[in-house]
Structure 1
């Protein structure tokens, strides 16, 4: 039985090592109208971002009005000060799909006049390969549960419960 259990665990370990994380595509704000003003509440997009565990290879999808709106990928200082000049990348065709290709922070602002200043901006953190969760600098609304550590990849089956060990008998002197 011990050998069978060891074989099962070795197979599970082998499976976990060769398993690959499947990248996901996220519609920003879970809505095609999320990159529009007025926002339902301040920091709404950052609160949305804080409830997701983005990983390298995931992508963000924006849908917005071409000609009247845009998405700018910017440096942190430009994000905080809503500076639209010299973005890392600019998207203005009504649809933007951005692949998160590295761990760390990404900063996005609206390129439309005064929209960033009115809150149309978002900070996204991407987990590195060995991170399971992070705490976001923006508070999560109290109606949301706290972040839960995630496995590095989804398992296709539940793991068996750990064995229950009973305490060793004590000798009385």
Structure 2
């Protein structure tokens, strides 16, 4: 009976808490004429959440630092995409800055800053992660060295084997 309870507990702990996908600009998408400050207000972004940018061929999504965001400069982006459908995983806490690099678009308000809090859903604070290679974020790739659910499953397996062996 204890084994059944232990297995049930391991299963409950292993169920990952899912991240949230946010479509930037909602139905309008990533385009001119959207108040992105208003779009951000009231939302809470967590590490692990994903931003989905949908946009036309005349736009880009460039992640930039704060200075480049303020000046609308895309001369040295952290990442850049122009495929029309870009998903970016928010891998770190802090403010992330995005602009459209098409001439004049950022100055017309096509930019957004995303305040990201906490650690990844289901991950312990300060858990190590492997940085994504250059350009990986623009392709929607997120690399982490381990997840809390895999650790729980590994520990649970060891406990179950130990119980089965009478340890």
For normalisation by structure 2, the TM-score amounts to 0.60
| Corresponding position: 1:61 with 2:52 | yes
Unpaired runs of at least 5, structure 2: 1-9, 121-167
Structure 1: 5+ residue stretches without partners: 1-13, 131-173
Q: Which has the larger radius of gyration?
A: 1
Match of 2:108 in 1: 118
Higher helix share: 2
Quote how far apart the aligned CAs of 1:16 are.
Answer: 9.3
Counterpart for residue 22 of structure 2: 26
Residue of structure 2 in register with 1:49 after alignment: 40
TM-score norm. by structure 1 comes to 0.58
Question: Following TM superposition, where does structure 1 have runs of at least 4 consecutive aligned residues deviating by more than 3 angstroms?
Answer: 14-20
- The equivalent residue for 1:37 is 32
8 Å CA contact 1:46–1:124 kept in 2: the answer is no
Matches within 5 A, 1:1-173: 20-31=16-27, 33-39=28-34, 44-66=35-57, 68-129=58-119
Contact kept? 2:46, 2:118, Cα under 8 Å: yes
Aligned-pair distance for 1:95?
1.1
Structure 2 residue matching 1:119: 3-state secondary structure: coil
Question: How many residue pairs end up in the alignment?
Answer: 112
Contact 2:62 2:80 in 1 (8 A): yes
Higher relative contact order, structure no. (Cα contacts within 8 Å, ≥ 6 residues apart): 2
CA drift of 1:48 comes to 1.3
Counterpart Cα distance in 1 of 2:43 and 2:119:
15
